[in-house]
């Protein structure tokens, strides 16, 4: 009887383990990357946390080099993430003359809070689009989506938005 009870319990344990198998999928990997370059702190502070609590004056601050301000980096990310999202969803894209410098814009006291909201909105929309996409679509878009995550990380990682925020408010 003990043998059958042990066998029964073992089958339940192993059966429940098999149901909780968390083998990564293309979708889960892309979503993890998008979330950690949106609002989940992992290897670095993500953009939504890097811009939180800044004033427009702080966001527009620049050092004496050619480096971009936090505001400029934020508008740049919004532009390229929106372009990619619109392509992914087969929507018309914003007009663009090809000059990437134009995607780095300063903000005003009146536009900064809307800019922060827009950043969160486009990053959330990207995550939702990937979450709702089928595997076939993701197979054709995985490289572009991964590059968006890399681009976001490049501009928000340890040497950009977060470090500037630390100097301003830390």
Query: pTM score, two decimals?
Result: 0.81
CATH number among 1.20.120, 3.30.70, 1.10.10, 3.40.190, domain 24-169: 1.20.120
Report how far residue 156's alpha carbon sits from residue 43's, in angstroms, rounded to the nearest whole number: 11
Rounded to the nearest integer, the mean pLDDT of the chain is 85
pLDDT at 16: 47
45: alpha, beta or left? (left if phi > 0; alpha if psi -120 to 50): beta
Q: How many residues does the chain have?
A: 170
Question: Domain ranges in the chain?
Answer: 24-169
The whole-number average pLDDT for the span 119-141 is 97
Q: How wide is the angle at C-alpha 137 spanned by C-alphas 117 and 146, nearest 5°?
A: 55
- State pLDDT tens for residues 89-117: 999 988 899 999 999 999 999 999 999 99
């Amino acid at each position: 009887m003990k043998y059958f009870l042990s066998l029964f319990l073992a089958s339940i344990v192993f059966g429940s383990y098999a149901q909780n198998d968390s083998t990564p999928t293309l979708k889960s990997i892309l979503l993890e990357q998008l979330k950690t370059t949106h609002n989940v702190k992992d290897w670095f502070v993500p953009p939504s946390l890097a811009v939180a609590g800044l004033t427009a004056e702080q966001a527009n601050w620049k050092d004496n080099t050619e480096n971009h301000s936090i505001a400029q980096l934020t508008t740049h990310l919004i532009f390229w993430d929106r372009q990619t999202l619109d392509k992914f969803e087969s929507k018309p894209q914003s007009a663009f003359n090809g000059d990437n410098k134009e995607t780095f814009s300063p903000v005003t006291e009146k536009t900064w809070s809307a800019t922060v909201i827009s950043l969160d909105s486009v990053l959330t929309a990207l995550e939702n689009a990937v979450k709702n996409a089928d595997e076939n679509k993701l197979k054709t878009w995985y490289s572009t989506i991964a590059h968006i995550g890399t681009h976001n990380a490049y501009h928000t990682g340890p040497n950009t938005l977060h470090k500037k925020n630390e100097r301003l408010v830390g």
